[in-house]
């Protein structure tokens, strides 16, 4: 069966809006605004006052949908982000290359896209585009073969997926019975000693709230330099963090090596902004981190993420997909991967609103008491109908 058409377009995505809706499908009333509405979160642009308050003030964004149609009319759907740049790459470069190719030959399509994008770089924006196409092809393959994707890649290895909640509405996470929670760090290198103290106070308050038996992590989102990361980690040592995450700019590999060397006792997680297997191979060969966190919608889709996971597993490095439980794509790969023991659920919806009201896709599962089992529908089980897809279009 051949690929008849590949088409990318702009969509509305709840991930871009941090899973927040003014009106909820069930009519549930929020108890308060979610943390995403007003929270201060440090980042790489925090040193510039006009961009400090919000990531949306400086990020190139925009959700992307990719619909692949086979000769028999079967469709598959993938998503990514970065708007017109990614849409153009898919429609103008990858689509003409792949239309007419075998629809089920996912490795062939992935390899063609990686090689075709090599002259301008297969990382970054190109990886986002490759991801959307690859996910759509796997969704299509599952539908054609009438199997959930997790069965096509080996079948379940977990009874259920242990999920942790990311966000700063920690009291709500505890009410939902998550046994692990991750904070977004409000202050970075540009905030100096006062920021170090404020970060420590946040972690201290959170540890007191959740007690000693709930795992606690800290997401630092590219906001630190090496010295700041070391100083903060030393201050936070008494609070028993499971890991600190994404402290440094992704391309500063020598700084990553320095952090590993200076904090041998601290678990380090990173990789959200690494995009190709070769980047993770370099990091694995130097043991730069204990946990890799590729995003399945950014790092080459399912095909790319499986390759990254195999590299990590061979090096004794755990993989936890970035926001992996927020899409069926990440749920299916995690469910079928022995080296992926945890799943991240980014929680940006308001306290008091059931998780089922924050769905990105109508067919996806959500954590229940901190555990998740993907649905068993063919493909990724997105639950998309023509009406749902039309409503997603911008």
Query: Catalytic positions, please?
Result: 322
Instruction: Return the structure tokens found at 136.
Output: 């759509």
Distance CA 215, CA 178 (A): 9
Identify the sign of the CA torsion 314, 316, 317, 321: positive
Locus of tokens 């790969």: 333
Is the CB of residue 304 less than 8 Å from the CB of residue 277? yes
Instruction: Return the structure tokens found at 387.
Output: 């009406």
Locus of tokens 């009519």: 27
Beta strands 371-372 and 161-166, pairing class? antiparallel
């Amino acid at each position: 069966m051949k690929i008849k058409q590949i088409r990318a377009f702009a969509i509305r995505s709840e991930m871009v809006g941090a899973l927040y809706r003014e009106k909820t499908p069930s009519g549930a009333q929020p108890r308060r605004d979610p943390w995403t509405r007003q929270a201060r979160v440090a980042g790489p642009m925090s040193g510039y006052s006009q961009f400090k308050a919000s990531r949306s003030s400086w990020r190139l964004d925009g959700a992307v949908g990719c619909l692949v149609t086979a000769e028999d009319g079967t469709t598959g759907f993938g998503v990514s982000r970065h708007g017109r740049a990614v849409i153009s790459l898919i429609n103008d470069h990858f689509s003409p290359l792949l239309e007419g190719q075998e629809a089920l030959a996912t490795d062939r399509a992935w390899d063609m896209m990686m090689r075709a994008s090599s002259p301008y770089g297969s990382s970054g924006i190109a990886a986002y585009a490759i991801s959307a196409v690859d996910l759509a092809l796997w969704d299509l393959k599952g539908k054609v073969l009438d199997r959930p994707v997790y069965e096509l890649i080996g079948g379940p290895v977990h009874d259920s997926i242990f999920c942790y909640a990311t966000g700063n509405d920690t009291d709500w996470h505890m009410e939902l019975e998550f046994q692990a929670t991750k904070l977004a760090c409000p202050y970075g290198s540009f905030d100096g000693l006062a920021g170090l103290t404020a970060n420590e106070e946040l972690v201290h308050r959170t540890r007191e709230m959740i007690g000693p038996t709930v795992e606690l992590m800290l997401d630092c989102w590219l906001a630190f330099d090496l010295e700041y990361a070391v100083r903060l980690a030393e201050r936070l040592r008494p609070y028993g963090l499971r890991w600190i995450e994404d402290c440094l700019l992704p391309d500063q590999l020598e700084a990553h090596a320095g952090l590993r060397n200076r904090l041998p006792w601290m678990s380090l997680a990173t990789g959200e902004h690494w995009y190709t297997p070769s980047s993770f191979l370099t990091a694995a060969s130097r043991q730069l981190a204990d946990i890799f966190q590729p995003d399945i919608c950014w790092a080459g889709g399912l095909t790319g993420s499986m390759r990254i996971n195999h590299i990590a597993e061979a090096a004794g490095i755990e993989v936890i997909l970035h926001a992996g439980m927020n899409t069926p794509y990440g749920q299916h790969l995690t469910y079928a991967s022995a080296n992926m023991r945890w799943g991240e659920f980014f929680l940006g919806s308001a306290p008091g609103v059931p998780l089922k009201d924050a769905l990105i896709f109508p067919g996806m599962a959500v954590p229940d008491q901190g555990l998740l089992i993907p649905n068993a529908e063919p493909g990724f089980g997105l639950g998309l109908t023509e009406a749902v897809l039309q409503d997603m279009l911008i």
